[in-house]
Amino acid sequence: MVLTYEKKDKIAVITLDRPEALNSFNNELLHQFSRALINFRDDEDDWVLIITGAGDKAFSAGFDLKEEVPKTFPSMITRGLEIFKPVIAAVNGVALGGGLEIALACDLRIASENAKLGVPETKWGLMPGWGGTQRLPRLISPTKAAEMLLMARVVDAKEACQMGLVNAVVSSSELMNTALDWAKQICRLGPLAVRSTKKAMWKGLSSSFDDGLCLEEELFGLLRKTNDAKEGPRAFAEKRKPEFKGK
C-alpha cells in the first residue's frame, strides 16, 4: 500500500505514503488516491477529510518523473471529481507540482514551518496539468501567481501564508493536531449547511455574480427543507447544542 485511509469519528485522513520518493505519485498511488477520495465522498459517516503525507519532509513532490506518464489520469479533486464535503490539506514539507495542485484543490491549507510550495514544472519542460494554472491565479494575486508559474519560483511557508496561499503555519509537531482541531470545529456545524456553503462558494467563483446569487438562493431553499435546518433553530431556542444528523 502506498496510501493509508483512516477514520477518526466523522473525520477521514488520507496519508500519501511514499516517503522514500517524497510522497510523489506513481500510477499505483494515483489510483489508490482516487479510490480513497471516492470512498470519502460516498461515505455518509465521513464529514471532513484531511490529506497529508507520510514523514516530515514532504506532503507530495507531485508526479514521479521517473515513472511513465499515463495517457489518462483517474478522477481526483484536481479534476473530474467534485467533493462538496470540506477538505483540509496538512502540508508537511514540500508540496511541489501536482502536490501543490492537490493542496490548491482543498478548501483549507495548514503548512508546517518547513514547508516549501511551488509549481516548478516549466523547469523540466512541462507545465502544471492538475489545475495549477487555473486555481493559483484565483487564489492569490495574478502577479504572484505569475512569479510561481512562469519563473518556477518556490516559496516558503511564511511567504505562502502572507500571500494567502495557506491559511496558517504551525510547527511540524503541531501540524496534524491543528488539522484535526480544525476538522473537529467543522464537525460541530451542520454538515449539510457546510456542504451547501462550499458548493455555493466555489461554484459561484466560476460564475457571474448574478448567477452565483441564484445558486445561493437555490441551495438555501433546498437546505431549509432538511431536518438539520429545523434542528439548528430549535436547539437555539432551547438553549442547547444542536444534534445534527446530516439529514
pLDDT at 69: 78
From the CB of residue 58, how many other CB atoms can be counted at a distance below 10 Å? Answer: 26
What confidence tens digit (pLDDT) does each residue in 39-79 have?
A: 999 999 999 999 999 999 999 999 998 887 777 889 999 99
Q: What was the pLDDT predicted at 110? A: 98
State which residues of the chain have pLDDT below 50: none
**CA-to-CA distance for 101 and 111, rounded, in angstroms?**
14
The partner residues of 91 in beta bridges, in order of sequence, read: 111
Residues of the chain with CATH 1.10.12.10: 191-237
The pLDDT of residue 203 is 94
Say whether domain 191-237 belongs to CATH 1.10.1740.10. Answer: no
- Where are the domain boundaries for CATH 3.90.226.10 in the chain? 3-187
- Show which residues are catalytic: 101, 121
Q: For the purposes of burial, counting CB atoms within 10 Å of the CB of 137, is it exposed (0-12), middle (13-18) or buried (19 or more)? A: middle
Count CB neighbours of 66 within 10 A. 8
| CATH topology for the 3-187 domain | 2-enoyl-CoA Hydratase; Chain A, domain 1 (3.90.226)
Cα 52 from chain centre: 10
Write down the pLDDT at residue 68. Answer: 79
pLDDT at res. 62: 95
**Three cell numbers, residue 121:** 514544472
